Amino acid sequence: MSNVKKAEGKLGVLVVGLGAVSSTFMTGVLMTRKGLAKPVGSMTQYDRIRVGEGADKKYLKYNEIVPLADLNDIVFGAWDVYPQNAYESAINCEVLKEKDINPVKDELEKIVPMKAAFDHNYAKRLTGDNVKQCATRWDMVEQLREDIRNFKKENGVDRVVVLWAASTEVYVPVDEKVHNTMADLEAAMKADDREHIAPSMCYAYAALAEGAPFIMGAPNTTVDIPAMWEMAEKTKMPIAGKDFKTGQTLVKSGFAPIIGTRCLGLNGWFSTNILGNRDGLVLDEPANFRTKEVSKLSTLESILVPEEQPDLYAHGNDEDTQYYHKVRINYYPPRNDNKEGWDNIDIFGWMGYPMQIKINFLCRDSILAAPLCLDLVLLSDLAARNGRYGIQRFLSFFLKSPMHDYTKDEVPVNHLFQQYTMLKNAIREMGGYKADEAID
């Protein structure tokens, strides 16, 4: 028997950023509700998990195991620095064809973004003026909390999930004096410490304070700090992050296990991308790219570990203690949302003889991100109804740089198939079945 509260009433989905990813996500859900599109890529809508063993074995969809919110019960809202509604955004972003947007035009036009809590220093390439006037970071939090309360009231929603699908902020290193405890974080917000408190932290704090799970879909430091973990514990709310695992990192977390499982050696892995949408524009700023680089570089390190297999992975940079790993993103406007990722992988085999693997992934960033948004929202809402709070490690499957407690030297799981096992076991447990797959 499932031990999760039923998904009664409406679920509000408040998205930070109404750009390519969000408008694609919203349009797809609304079109699916009308039976005019299929939610391809969504685990919650398509995947089946085995429950029970032997004669009792069954393969069930997620909503047959646990009570997921129904797509018909979702109500969308957003914040954005640009005032365009979701329809205008979907048209302008040119991810979807007009014929796939127009059937839900009326619904999309009603999704008008609230003024964003924004600091130009955190995303210098964005020039929108649909922005709140905030005296301090604490004032920013208070205004966002009011937005969430008003949204719930005006739309008659019972529960809310807040999802960050906005741009990557400049890199904010963890500072123990500000980020270690909730008291220090609140004091810094009240003192208007703009250097250590990113706008995204205000969104996360406001969401948790209003009893809403928070999902970080960019590589920002936002919820990756002990103060936010303490806040999640106090409010008994789930948090998940960080950075949607869409193109190149999905390939990396799925392909690196082939090299590791087959006991082949790795000399170097070079990844480069070209991208032309607003995300690419923001990442063209070095300080913003640094945030993304840290997230993308972390994937390999826990899958192919030099200390565990020095013969295979102790080559390359870092004083010859590790293979060489380089990541690049280049802003290239003609491509718009159609990202291209190239991977050059230098491996070696028997007696050290070299070989190469080349992967060229011509993906559509928002087409891959939209189903992740849906799954993360539905599963975070599920976790909240199950009384799960703090870091939701079982959601690592959907994220590039999984959250983990680095203060206790916890190593994140980046191996795609181990992440999938964690996801399945969490669904099993919430459905009242036993977790029966081990991660070795």
Tell me the pTM.
Answer: 0.94
The two three-digit tokens of residue 163, written as one number: 């999802």
pLDDT surpassing 90 at residue 175: yes
Instruction: Categorize the per-residue pLDDT at 319 as very low, low, confident or very high, splitting at 50, 70 and 90.
Output: low
Cα dihedral value 8, 10, 16, 18, nearest 10: 140
Q: How far is CA 76 from CA 102, 156, 328, in A?
A: 17, 12, 34
149 or 314, higher pLDDT: 149
Q: What is the mean pLDDT of the chain?
A: 94
| Alpha helices, H only, 191-306 | 199-209, 226-235, 248-261, 278-283, 286-301
Q: How far is CA 197 from CA 176, 189, 248, in A?
A: 13, 7, 30
pLDDT surpassing 60 at residue 54: yes
Reduced to 3 states (helix: H, G, I; strand: E, B; else coil), residue 90 is: helix
Residue 162 bridge partners (DSSP): 14, 214
Going by C-beta distance under 8 Å and a sequence separation of 6 or more, which residues neighbour residue 268? 315, 316, 323, 324, 325, 326, 344, 345, 346
Q: What is the 3-state secondary structure (H, E, C) of 119-167?
A: CHHHCCCCCCCCECCCCCHHHHHHHHHHHHHHHHHHHCCCEEEEEECCC
Closest CA to 384 of 244, 208, 221, 252: 208
pLDDT surpassing 90 at residue 316: no
Which tens digit of pLDDT belongs to each residue from 158-167?
999 999 999 9
Angle 311-315-317 (CA atoms, 0-180°, nearest 5)?
155
* Cα–Cα dist 47/63, whole Å: 10
The two three-digit tokens of residue 39, written as one number: 């939610």
Structural domains of the chain, ranges and CATH numbers in brackets:
11-244+366-430 (3.40.50.720), 248-362 (3.30.360.10)
Reduced to 3 states (helix: H, G, I; strand: E, B; else coil), residue 273 is: strand
Which tens digit of pLDDT belongs to each residue from 218-250?
999 999 999 999 999 999 999 999 999 988 889
What letter would DSSP give residue 40?
T
Instruction: Categorize the per-residue pLDDT at 291 as very low, low, confident or very high, splitting at 50, 70 and 90.
Output: confident
pLDDT surpassing 80 at residue 292: no
Instruction: Categorize the per-residue pLDDT at 215 as very low, low, confident or very high, splitting at 50, 70 and 90.
Output: very high
Q: So what's the pLDDT on residue 298?
A: 77
Q: So what's the pLDDT on residue 318?
A: 53
Answer positive or negative: Cα dihedral of 296, 300, 301, 303. positive
Closest CA to 275 of 210, 191, 362: 362
